Amino acid sequence: MNGRAIIRRYETGKRNFSRTKLRGAKLEGADLQGIDLSWAYLRGANLSGANLAEANLMGSDLVNVDLTDTNLNKADLRGANLHKAEVTNSQLARAKSLRHTILPDGSRHE
């Protein structure tokens, strides 16, 4: 599935994209508040400037993902892999949970 298909389906009311394969998806600037991307494969995706407030990203593969200026307020990042992701500490501080998340530097949040 590609970024455009996700955005179209989201706009029609679908919110559950759990376990979806979105490697390299282009979702920059997309308003995806409350989306369920738990256990999704997003490696290398561009989510810069996207609104992922209250999103479920639990267990997602976010390696090398561009999260520059992405709204992660109250996003659930438990167990997600953010290794080498472009994201700031202040963005992560607004997340709902980082429990067991692999951080951009490869360390694990307890």
Using pLDDT thresholds of 50, 70 and 90, give the confidence band for residue 47: very high
Region 66-79: mean pLDDT is: 98
Structure tokens at 14: 């679908």
Q: How far apart are CA 107 and CA 25, in angstroms?
A: 25
pTM value is 0.94
Region 87-91: mean pLDDT is: 96
Using pLDDT thresholds of 50, 70 and 90, give the confidence band for residue 32: very high
Domain that holds residue 72: 1-110
Model pLDDT for residues 6-15, shown as the tens digit of each residue: 999 999 999 9
Handedness of CA 4, 64, 90, 78 (dihedral sign): positive
pLDDT over 90 (residue 110): no
Number of domains in the chain: 1
What CATH number is given to the structural domain containing 33?
A: 2.160.20.80
pLDDT over 90 (residue 1): no
- 43, 67 in Cβ contact below 8 A? no
Give the ranges where the chain is alpha helix by DSSP (H). Answer: 3-11, 89-93
Region 65-73: mean pLDDT is: 98
